[in-house]
Amino acid sequence: MDTEQQHRRKRKRGVVKHFHVSSRSLFLCFSFFIFLLFLSNYHGFFTHKPPLSSSTLSLLYSSASFSVLDDPLQSTTAQTTTLSLSLQHQILFPNHYLIILNNNEKIQTREVECVYYILNGSSPGSAKPVLDVEVQVQPVQSIDYYDESRSVARCPFHETNSSTSGGVKVVDLRRFGEVGRRNLSGLKKQTPQSWDRVAYEAMLDGDTVVVFVKGLNLRPHKISDPTNFRCHFGLRSFHKDGVGASFLLSTRAVSVAQEIVRCVLPQSIINKPDKARGVRVTVSNLSGNLRRQVRTLLPSVARIGSGSVHKESSEKHELCVCTMVWNQASALREWIMYHSWLGVERWFIYDNNSDDDIENVVNDLDSKGFNVSRKVWPWIKTQEAGFSHCALKAREDCKWVGFFDVDEFFYFPNEFHRPNELGESSSTSSSGVPGEKSLRSMVANFSSSTTIAEIRTACHSFGPSGLTSHPKQGVTIGYTCRLQSPERHKSIVRPDLLDASLLNVVHHFQLKEGFESYNMPEHSVIVNHYKYQVWESFKAKFFRRVATYVVDWQQDQNKGSKDRAPGLGTEAIEPDNWRLRFCEVKDTGLKDYVLSVFTDPVTGSMPWEKHLL
């Protein structure tokens, strides 16, 4: 009997114990479900230990897009229309606001205006109510197509009255004639992002992503240690309709230099690269001491777009050219027509906030068969990064890519003027004209080299040559007096043989290990750099230098730099006898050649003048 009772007690305990285990399992499962539910609604979790700065998380994962004028004032009786645009980001540049907006339709500069909301009695992100809103309007400076999903607009700075200068300012866009404003609570959250520290562009390159970043403060002209850097991806789940929960992936950096971080791609993007379009990317870096290291995300407006590198073309152009310009539309025709004669087959023009007629000039040249494209590049003082971006983009189509400016012209003294033993130029083309395709022939001679990946050419700097106004027939004909000694050089590179860091110093690139540069003999080829032009043209250089590590001339720094003109201060004041300066050698070699080859026998004009006739 006692034994039977003991068995019953054991069975009862077993049932109780089993019930206890089942209850605990249910509790754990329920807790895990709640945890997963929490994660599915929380976008910012990380797998690595160092804490992230929270100040930038909202910039990476907030929707950051809002309809322009989506909440018209209830008190107004004016008829309003819904603008089919939404703003993604605002960036505060030193002299204007850059507005990044979604593309739903082609919109013209004349159709929109900049709206400034000054929110008084509140601070950015605070819960305090907005006591007063002042609305002011100015014309938009420009609006441009940026990529397949975004446009960029530039709004000027707007001076506020002293009574409202302490308020929070938000910049918006609206069509002319529209009345209304957005929701006030939304306005408070959309203060402009500082340009000092932001990821601004991204490109896929094979199994890696190249991210362009402002504010890393790395050593110029050096490759940095990538150990402390990572890339982060704000993704949508790859559903058919493109709608899904956002989440964050993080990958290690494999190279870092200046403003460029290259990271491996997450496996999900490698598997479906076509789904990566629109994915936002940013960069983080590890800082602090060994006891407490902090990983900080940079704010980001960078998205992977159609500019990413795809499979290379089977048939490539022998020679292409990249350049970055600001308000140089008037110089493009002469520069492109001349170098196309020398054999350049493809042109990549990076437009750095021009407000002249550059779009029409590029379209006109392209329609005439010069194969020219314009890339809107709104990022100021990023010439090195822009050249790296172009090197990646051009690699698909080009064996060699030249990087030089619109005031620089290649000149072949021997090819242009010295006949060979048969009485013809040594570079006579099939058309019988000496010198044609000389530049293409030069680079083609190195295409089979197993060691040469960069061709360097020295520059002669020309002065105003006694002129006081821009030469009507072009710089190659007008400027004929230069300095004696060459200055600097310009490079033509093999884009497939550049270092993974894409490091460049404007004039040349870091090459892959095992490859080197070759310096062309000066008697064979030289670059005529029409550097010191008439004062009216030259003084534009005081506005801003485009290179990242070149000090703007208004600043009282690096006065001995070769980038500056000797004897000039920090203000655009014409010095005495400017027209006679920088004249040590009379050099009409290129002028004589251009006149002999390009002059129209009927009108006497140059081909780049015909649009003026």
pLDDT tens sequence across 143-171: 999 988 899 999 998 765 434 455 667 88
Beta bridge partners of 225: none
Are residues 214 and 262 located together in one domain of the fold? yes
Residue 214 CA to residue 202 CA, distance in Å, equals 12
Q: What is the pTM of this model?
A: 0.82
Q: Which residues of the chain have pLDDT under 70?
A: 1-85, 104, 121-131, 159-168, 179-189, 235-247, 306-313, 418-432, 542-567, 569-570, 612-613
Last residue of a domain, one of 134, 156, 188: 188
Domain encompassing residue 561 = 317-608
Residues 6+ apart with CB under 8 A from 598: 337, 338, 341, 606, 607
Are residues 438 and 326 located together in one domain of the fold? yes
Are residues 603 and 563 located together in one domain of the fold? yes
Torsion angle (degrees, nearest 10) of CA 303, 307, 312, 316: -160
The answer to whether position 44 is within a domain reads no
The answer to whether position 8 is within a domain reads no
Residue 321 CA to residue 372 CA, distance in Å, equals 10
The answer to whether position 23 is within a domain reads no
Are residues 273 and 332 located together in one domain of the fold? no
Last residue of a domain, one of 159, 188, 217: 188
Are residues 495 and 572 located together in one domain of the fold? yes
Q: Say what the pLDDT of residue 139 is.
A: 92
Residue 253 CA to residue 226 CA, distance in Å, equals 6
Residue 188's φ and ψ, nearest 5 degrees, are -65, -25
Are residues 489 and 464 located together in one domain of the fold? yes
Q: Say what the pLDDT of residue 398 is.
A: 98
The answer to whether position 444 is within a domain reads yes
For position 383, which CATH number holds? 3.90.550
DSSP 47-105: SSSSPBPGGGHHHHHS---EETT-S--TT--S-----S-EEEEEEE-SSEEEEEEE-SS
Q: Say what the pLDDT of residue 368 is.
A: 97
Are residues 414 and 530 located together in one domain of the fold? yes
Q: How many domains are there within the chain?
A: 3
Last residue of a domain, one of 188, 220, 251: 188
Q: Which of 293, 205, 289 is nearest to 255 (CA)?
A: 205
